[in-house]
Amino acid sequence: MKKFLLHISFLALLCMVLANCRHDPDPEPEFCEYDSSVEEMKKWYYFKTGTWWVYQEQTTGDLDTVTVFDNSAGVSGGFDFFNYYVHHSHDGFDVNYYFNSSFSIHCLTETKCTCHKVLRSRYEPGNFVGEGWIFLYPLIEGNYTASNGGWCTLDTMHSAYSVNSIIYSNVSQWDIPNDDSEDDVHTKYWIGKNFGIVRRKNLSTNMDWILIESIIIQ
Judged against a pLDDT cut of 70, whether residue 11 lies above it is answered with no
Banded model confidence at residue 167, pLDDT cuts 50, 70, 90? very high
Are the CB atoms for 54 and 27 separated by under 8 Å?
no
The backbone torsions φ and ψ at residue 5, rounded to the nearest 5 degrees and listed phi first, read -65, -35
The Cα 51–Cα 80 span in angstroms is: 22
The per-residue pLDDT of the chain, averaged, comes to: 90
* Cα torsion angle, 118, 44, 92, 181, sign: negative
Average pLDDT over residues 145-174: 93
Residue 25, pLDDT above cutoff 70:
no
pLDDT in tens, 188-201: 999 999 999 999 99
* Residue 128 CB neighbours (<10 A): 10
Domains of the chain: 38-215 (2.40.360)
Contact, 113 vs 138, CB < 8 A? yes
pLDDT greater at residue 213 or residue 25: 213
Q: What is the pLDDT of residues 40-90, one digit of tens each?
A: 999 999 999 999 999 999 999 999 999 999 999 999 999 999 999 999 999
